[in-house]
Amino acid sequence: MKIYVAYTGGTIGMVPSEQGYVPDAAFANTVSQALVAYQPEHEFSVHCYANLIDSSNATPADWQTIGEDIQSKWAEFDAFLVLHGTDTMAYTSSALAFMFQHSRKPIVVTGSQIPMVKRRNDALSNVFGAVDALIQGPQGVFLFFGGLLLEGARARKVNTSDLQAFQSPNFLPRGTLGIEWNWRKMHLPKAAELIQVPPMQAGVVTLLPVFPGVQASHWQGLLDDKVKGAVLLSYGAGNGPDQNQELLDLLKAANDRGVVIVNVSQCGTGAVAAGTYAAGSALVRAGVISGADMTFEAAFSKLHFLLGLGWQEEAIKQAFATTLAFEIS
């Protein structure tokens, strides 16, 4: 198998500096040697990005860069490994899942909580597990971390310190790696591979946090003229304050000017069922659509992806009622 490895930055390849950990290009060589020693019968090509980043600095343009990079190597390689920081890994894996829908080749994103330069680390166990998933596992876009192979558009970082830092709260892992792999058998839809890497522009999508006492003035700046999509982080099953008319008017005005507002629960597990409570119905009346059981990372990147493709408001709203990359149950 020919495996392309995109090293984009992240803790996995970081070294200490006076300001704290920073990415290091030398890791590309280290990981390349480790991969060849681990799987000598396979061919690896490690590409070190010119601008290695802490993924906290990632923007939607970086998802586009990774997508274009993989797309340009599509014919030449059988499988793709993306080495990435953990902080925004779930956004990137979601974006890639939308860009490479029903992919006939495996793409796995991974990284580590402890840099490889530390004597005890989780770097190689994650890299080797991800490579095993590429070689033995299913086709599609996944995030591998701490023994779990998660659907790219379902994963979330849930722990700052555990080595099992990612979960997929509303979807079972596709595989779990112990001594051997334990694969989940899934009935997959017969859909054609669809690869689309649209331009992605920072600032077109925003998050709207609901919190006790939230005021319209808090959201006004977030809903500026550039914004075309928003993920509303609601309470429980999709509720927000229905007694704050100014806030509801602001949402309605944004919806009327074509901003697609998607309701995702702050709970992280379970689905939005807005309309169960009056406090949720008010959001529906203001034009907010349901994000069902999507993660907010997936909702955010799905909006970016569809807006990047140039889809119009109604088509985007309809796309949120269907699943493109296993992101909705």
For 300, residues 6+ apart whose C-beta sits below 8 A from its C-beta are 91, 94, 205, 207, 231
In whole angstroms, the minimum distance from the beta carbon of 195 to ligand ASP comes to 26
Q: What are the CA-CA distances from residue 178 to residues 83, 158, 235 (Å)? A: 21, 21, 36
Residue nearer to ligand ASP on the CB measure, 123 or 133: 123
98-137 footprint of ligand ASP as x/- string (CB under 6 A): -------------x-x------------------------
% helix, strand, coil for the chain, step of 5:
30, 25, 45
Using CB under 6 A as the binding rule, whether residue 11 contacts ligand ASP is answered as yes
Residue nearer to ligand ASP on the CB measure, 65 or 101: 65
Binding residues among 21-60 for ligand ASP as defined by CB under 6 A: 54-56
Residue nearer to ligand ASP on the CB measure, 116 or 197: 116
DSSP structure class, residue 12: G
223-262 footprint of ligand ASP as x/- string (CB under 6 A): ----------------------------------------
Using CB under 6 A as the binding rule, whether residue 93 contacts ligand ASP is answered as no
Using CB under 6 A as the binding rule, whether residue 78 contacts ligand ASP is answered as no
Nearest to 86 by CA among 18, 158, 1: 158
CA pair distance 202, 325, nearest whole angstrom: 22
Residue nearer to ligand ASP on the CB measure, 22 or 216: 22
Q: Which stretch binds ligand ASP (CB under 6 A): 5-13, 99-107, 118-126, 248-256?
A: 5-13
CA distance between the termini of the chain: 33
CA pair distance 150, 118, nearest whole angstrom: 26
Using CB under 6 A as the binding rule, whether residue 167 contacts ligand ASP is answered as no
- Per the annotation, the verdict on 11 as an active-site residue is yes
CA pair distance 59, 123, nearest whole angstrom: 24
Using CB under 6 A as the binding rule, whether residue 69 contacts ligand ASP is answered as no
Using CB under 6 A as the binding rule, whether residue 94 contacts ligand ASP is answered as no
Q: Which stretch binds ligand ASP (CB under 6 A): 8-16, 130-138, 167-175, 219-227?
A: 8-16
> Tokens representing 70?
């993989």
Cβ pair 122, 146 in contact under 8 A = yes
Cβ pair 84, 8 in contact under 8 A = yes
Nearest to 88 by CA among 110, 58, 50: 58
Using CB under 6 A as the binding rule, whether residue 159 contacts ligand ASP is answered as no
Cβ pair 277, 239 in contact under 8 A = yes
Using CB under 6 A as the binding rule, whether residue 290 contacts ligand ASP is answered as no
Q: Which stretch binds ligand ASP (CB under 6 A): 29-37, 82-90, 246-254, 318-326?
A: 82-90
Q: Which residues are catalytic?
A: 11
Residues of the shown chain interacting with ligand ASP in the complex, contacts defined by CB under 6 A? 9-11, 54-56, 85-87, 111, 113
